[in-house]
Amino acid sequence: MQVYCILGDERVMRSKSPTIFSTVLKRIGLKGSYVPFKVDPDQIGSALQSIRVLNIAGASITIPFKEKVIPHLDVLSEGANIIGAINTIVRNGDILKGYNTNAIGFMDALSESGFDVEGKSALVFGTGGAAKAIVFILNWLRTTSIFVAGRNNDKTSEIVHRFGGETVSFDELADRTLSANIVVNTTSVSSPDESPEMKLLLDKISIKDCEMVVDLNYGRIENFWQDMARRIGVRFMDGLPSLAYQSRRTLALWTGIQVPPEEFIKALNEKH
């Protein structure tokens, strides 16, 4: 029996990934288990060594370790190396290889939704590993202009230098009108109790030409990204479709098996 896991901070215990993978593994007849592990930030290196020691076949990586794990890996896929963040680890013997399925999972979710970003403009909130994956894939999909918004000017500048686009600070957002056909939240906050400051900002900002708002988070009872989409009268998509599609890509890397995406969507929608 193969064992897989997901590594993150305390938020990993709320992840739907164990539900998705456990359900799909059972459905396709593979004997395996998928376990969440909360890891302290200063122990991430030891956690990756444990993957080798315990013969864990593969791991998912979530907030806040998508960039921090890279020095502890033996090799990166070409895409992960370009993006500078990983969310999937494949173990081959003692070799740990990092991949990024966040970017292509988001692409698959956009495609399924029928939204084509080619020739359009985007506003991306966040400066972490997820932001890097989203800005990368938006560029690859020929998005014409991309604004990257974050609190840390050095991090926003790093993303723009790596992939192109334009930085914009949160302070600037409150004072100017931006044209963005799609708004994507890659930060970890979506509800007023998580960040009253972000809610106030979203209440103030003015975005024209918007057609869709995407929040990579999910499971919030109150969601100010969804409220913003409703206020300006555009489509909203939370992070569950992206999670399903990136999980499909991750399982293929672990097992070589191409499972239809419908199985992952079904696993998400089932009550457990």
Confidence grade of residue 170 (pLDDT, cut at 50, 70, 90): confident
The CATH number, out of the four listed (3.40.50.10860, 3.40.50.300, 2.60.370.10, 3.40.50.10490), of the domain defined by the range 2-99+241-269: 3.40.50.10860
Residue 68 has pLDDT above 70, yes or no: yes
pLDDT above 90 covers a percentage of the chain that reads: 88
> In CATH, what number does 104-238 get?
3.40.50.720
Mean per-residue pLDDT for 247-259?
A: 95
pLDDT (tens digit, 9 = 90+) per residue, 120-163? Answer: 999 999 999 999 999 999 999 999 999 999 988 999 999 999 99
DSSP annotation string for 151-196: S-HHHHHHHHHHH--EEEEHHHHTTSEEE-SEEEE-SS--STTT-H
Measure CA of the first residue to CA of the last residue in the chain; give whole Å: 23
Domain boundaries, the chain: 2-99+241-269, 104-238
Over residues 77-99, the pLDDT tens digits come to 999 999 999 999 999 999 999 99
Please state the length of the chain. Answer: 272
b/e string for 93-132 if b means 16 or more Cβ within 10 A?
eeebbbbbbbbbbbbbbbeeeebebeebbbbbbbbbbbbb
Identify the pLDDT of residue 175. 82
Q: Is the pLDDT of residue 271 over 80?
A: no
pLDDT above 70: percentage of residues in the chain: 99
Look up residue 174 and give its two tokens.
């409150």
> In this structure, what token pair is assigned to residue 211?
């057609």
66 in catalytic set: yes
Q: How confident is the model at residue 171 (pLDDT cuts 50, 70, 90)?
A: confident
Return the number of other C-beta atoms located less than 10 Å from residue 227's C-beta: 17
Q: In this predicted structure, what is the pLDDT of residue 242?
A: 96
- Are the C-beta atoms of 157 and 169 separated by less than 8 Å? no
In the predicted model, what is the mean pLDDT of the chain? 94
- Cα gap 16→209, rounded to integer Å: 33
Side-chain half-sphere CA neighbours of 220 within 13 A: 22
Q: Has residue 270 got a pLDDT over 80?
A: no
Tell me how far apart the alpha carbons of residues 269 and 263 are, in angstroms, rounded to a whole number.
Answer: 10
- The per-residue pLDDT for 272 is 52
Q: Extract the tokens encoding 160.
A: 């723009």
Assess whether pLDDT exceeds 60 at residue 265: yes
- Rounded to an integer, the average pLDDT of 247-263 is 94
2-99+241-269 against 104-238: fold identical: yes
243, amino acid identity: L
- Assigned token pair, 103: 């970017």
Which member of 66, 97, 120, 132 is catalytic? Answer: 66
pLDDT digits (tens, 9 = 90+) for 36-57: 999 999 999 999 999 999 999 9
Query: Tell me, what amino acid is at 99?
Result: Y
Residue (of 168, 216, 183, 235) closest to 63 by Cα position: 216
Q: Is the pLDDT of residue 71 over 80?
A: yes
The answer to pTM > 0.75 is yes
* Alpha-carbon separation of residue 90 from 21, 69, 123 (angstroms): 15, 13, 32
pLDDT grade for 225, boundaries at 50, 70 and 90: very high
Q: Output the CA–CA distances (angstroms, integers) from residue 10 to 15, 39, 126, 265, in the order listed.
A: 10, 8, 20, 25
